[in-house]
Every structure is written in C-alpha cells, then in structure tokens.
Amino acid sequence: MATSRYSIRQRESGRSQARWYDDAGTRHTRMFDNRTEAKRFLNQMTADKQNGTYRDPRDAELPFRKVAEGWLATKVKRPKTLAGYESLLRTHLLPTFGDRQVGSIKTSDVRRWLADMQRKGCAPGTIRNAYRVLTPILDAAVENRYMAANPCGPLKRDDFPKPRRTTMLFLDAEQVARLAAEIPAPYDVLLHFAARSGMRAGEIGALRMENVDLLRKVVHVRESLSEVAGALHYLPPKTGEERTVVLSAALTRMLRDYLVAQPQKGPRDFLFTAPGDPTAPVRHSGWFYGNVFKPAARRAGLSPRLRFHDLRHTCASLLIAENVPAKAIQEHLGHSSYAITMDRYGHLYPAATDDVREALERAFG
C-alpha cells in the first residue's frame, strides 16, 4: 500500500471516515469519532506497512470459529486426540468465543472465561485442557496477523484452579492374582499379561501373533489400537517408536497354555480376541471394561476407582520395588523420556539420603 493512498473525509454526522487502498487497489473505509483518531489509525497502518508488521484490519474481524477450524485442519494427530480437541472446542470454547471477532478477544475475556468454567463446576483438568487448545489457536491468529499478541500471554498461575491430586492406584502381586481369579477364562490371562508387561491397553489390543516370540520370551510393540466413535484405528505406538517388551518365564508359560486352548492363529491374528469373533481384537473399553473388569474388581474387594490402566502403574511399582533402574523401566513401559518416568513414579523410589551421606563420607573422608 503506497503511503499516499489514503484520505480522511468528514461525514455529516460529525464523524471522520478513514479511506485507504490495499495492494490490489480495493478501497476500504473505517469510521472514527474524530479526525485525530482517523489520522492516528492511518499513520499507524502506514508505519506498520513500511516495517513489515502491517495487519489488515479486516482480518481481526474474522470469527474465532474460523480461526479454530483452520488451526484444527493443520493438526496431524492421533484420531482420539483430534476427537478430544473437537470435544473441547464444541463444549467449552465455541459457546463463548465462536462468533467473536478474533481480534477483539482480550486477556480479560480469557480470565472471565476461566472463572466462568470454574463457577460451572468444570474439573481443573478439563479447564487446563481447554486452555491448552485455546492458546495455540490464538497463537495461530497472531502468526497469521489476525491479532497483534496472544491474550493468553499475560495470564498467571493464580488464574487457574489448583489441580486435584488423586492418589495413583497400584496393586501388589497378591491383588493381581485375586483380581485375575475373578475374571473368566481366557481373559484372566489378559489381566496377567497387562499387569506383568506394563503395556498400554491399545498396545495389547493391537498385539498380533507375528509380534509374539515365546521362544525368546519377548513381544514386539509395533501397533496401538484406538477406538473413536466406534471406529477402530491401528496406529504406531504412542511415542511413535517400536519397542521390545520382555516376558517372565511364568507369563510365557501362561501364554503357551492359553494358545493351546485357542483355535489355531495365523501371524496376523490378534493374541487376544473379542468374544465370539476370533478375527476381532479385544477392546479394553466397552464390553470388557463394563462386563468383565469392573465386576471382577468389585468381587475381588478392590478399589472402585481401579482402572485397566492402573495395571500399567502396577507393573511400574512392582519393578521399582525390585530395585529395577528407572532407565530400564522407561524403556520397558515405552515412555518417551526418562523425565516422564521419574515424574510419574519417582515418589515410589525409597529416599536415598543415607546412601548419599555415606558416599560423600567415603569420597571426602
């Protein structure tokens, strides 16, 4: 936009109309209360154009909904993750911001939205997850010059509710055996496999015979099963990397006995299958969770909060109790980093203050 291609006209109403042309030669106008404000607007626009920070004022009028749709279209995520984003948008973001001009959203608006969610009784985790979707959407708006700065930037820790700390559930070996005893065959073997392998539910569901090597007592984790709106998706493992999980001799024997009692399986068949359909994988949610796992947990006298995923925590806690190094546990569970393993399970390691004191005394005398 050339610096001379603007003008100000005084209207009969007494207000001032700023007029300018874009690079395509299209004329635009905006009304101001007086000439001084119109002049300031045009001067700022011209300066921004010259230093490369110009934003078309019309872009700020784009509805938040459109920016969110554009952001979501760029996300290459797992189907369940995308479904979670869509749910948070639909339930918590679009009702408040959907029709707002994205350039009009201010930090005070975001604070008010956070407070409203708390008043409605939304869980702290839900509020933070919704905020984690709002922030990158507004980052995209800044990147595309729909707004000058992200209004989420100035927010402080006090603007968010404190997370509710829930105690992580672990079972000991006796409780695992008690729970498995309440589960009808052949799914008692599935229960033992989950607790002893520490694999994620989706990894167990997608485990095929070609990735089970009982001779070497290992399984290879190469796929994960994800269910979204009734549709099954076979994806790479959560971290994107394959791994090998070792099996104990006892678990290997269980699997051998289990397979002897099963119809002959081919390389692409699933290790654990749905009832009545030997070609379909067993899914930990739905039928298994409601009709097998939860009733068994009640009969075994275990916590009603117990989830299938807690069998993975159980595996980690039992390995820690046997003094397995955290790095080995990270690799066994398939965590993307050592830090994640320590963040989740570091509190289970015994305090080592005496060891540190003795080591320092040996080193320095």
33-68 confidence digits (pLDDT tens): 999 998 988 888 887 777 766 666 676 789 999 999
Instruction: Give residue-wise pLDDT tens across range 89-108.
Output: 999 999 999 999 998 999 99
Task: Output the pLDDT for position 52.
Answer: 66
The CATH number of the domain where 88 resides is what?
Answer: 1.10.150.130
Q: What CATH number is associated with residue 243?
A: 1.10.443.10
Residue 355 included in any domain:
no
Give the single-character DSSP code of 292.
I
Is residue 149 domain-shared with residue 200, that is, in the same domain? no
Region 279-306 average pLDDT: 91
Q: Which domain holds residue 10?
A: 6-54
User: Mean pLDDT throughout 333-362?
Assistant: 76
User: Does one domain contain both 50 and 67?
Assistant: no
Same domain, 269 and 302: yes
Say whether both 332 and 189 belong to one domain. yes
C-alpha triplet 15, 103, 101: angle, nearest 5°: 85
> The pTM is what?
0.71
In a domain, 364, yes or no: no
Helix 310-321 with 187-197: angle, nearest 10 deg = 50
Quick check: 263 and 278 in contact, CB under 8 A?
yes
- Could you identify the residue written with the tokens 């692409």? 268
pLDDT at residue 1 in the model: 40
Whether 354 is covered by a domain: the verdict is: no
For position 292, what pLDDT does the model report? Answer: 93
Which of 40-44, 140-144, 158-162, 229-233 has the largest mean confidence?
A: 140-144
For residue 219, give Cα distances in angstroms to 60, 269, 274. 54, 14, 20
Number of domains in the chain: 3
Rounded Cα–Cα distance for residues 49 and 52 (Å): 5
Residue 166 within a domain: no
Residue 363 lies in a domain: no
Residue 357 lies in a domain: no
What are 328's two structure tokens? 């080995």
Beta bridge partners of 20: 6, 28
The per-residue pLDDT for 365 is: 60
End of a domain among 102, 130, 159? 159
Alpha carbons within 13 A on the beta-carbon side of 319: 26
237 with 103, same domain?
no
- Same domain flag for 190 and 325: yes
What DSSP line would sit under 67-118, residue for residue?
HHHHHHHT----HHHHHHHHHHIIIIIHHHHTTSBGGG--HHHHHHHHHHHH
- pLDDT for 256 beyond 50: yes
Task: Count CB-CB contacts under 10 A for residue 47.
Answer: 12
Shared domain check, 76 and 41: no
- The pLDDT tens digits of the residues spanning 317-342 come to 888 888 888 889 899 998 888 788 88
Number of residues in the chain: 365
Distance CA 153, CA 117 (A): 19
Q: Residue 3 — very low, low, confident or very high, per pLDDT cuts 50/70/90?
A: very low
Task: Identify whether residues 256 and 334 lie together within a single domain.
Answer: yes
Residues 34 and 73 in one domain: no
* pLDDT value at 240 more than 70: yes
Residues 27 and 86 reside in one and the same domain? no
Instruction: Note the pLDDT of residue 116.
Output: 95
Whether residues 37 and 149 share a domain: the answer is no
The answer to which of 144-153, 173-182, 256-265 has the lowest mean pLDDT is 144-153
Q: Is 356 part of a structural domain of the chain?
A: no
Contact present, 160 and 115 (Cβ < 8 Å): no
Contacts of 217 (CB under 8 A, 6+ apart): 246, 247, 248, 249, 252
From 135, 159, 183, give the residue that closes a domain: 159
Q: Are residues 45 and 92 in the same domain?
A: no
Tens digits of residue pLDDT in 155-191: 988 888 887 777 788 899 999 999 999 999 999 999 9
Residue 190 lies in a domain: yes
Q: Strand 243-246 to strand 273-274: parallel, antiparallel, or no bridges (unpaired)?
A: unpaired
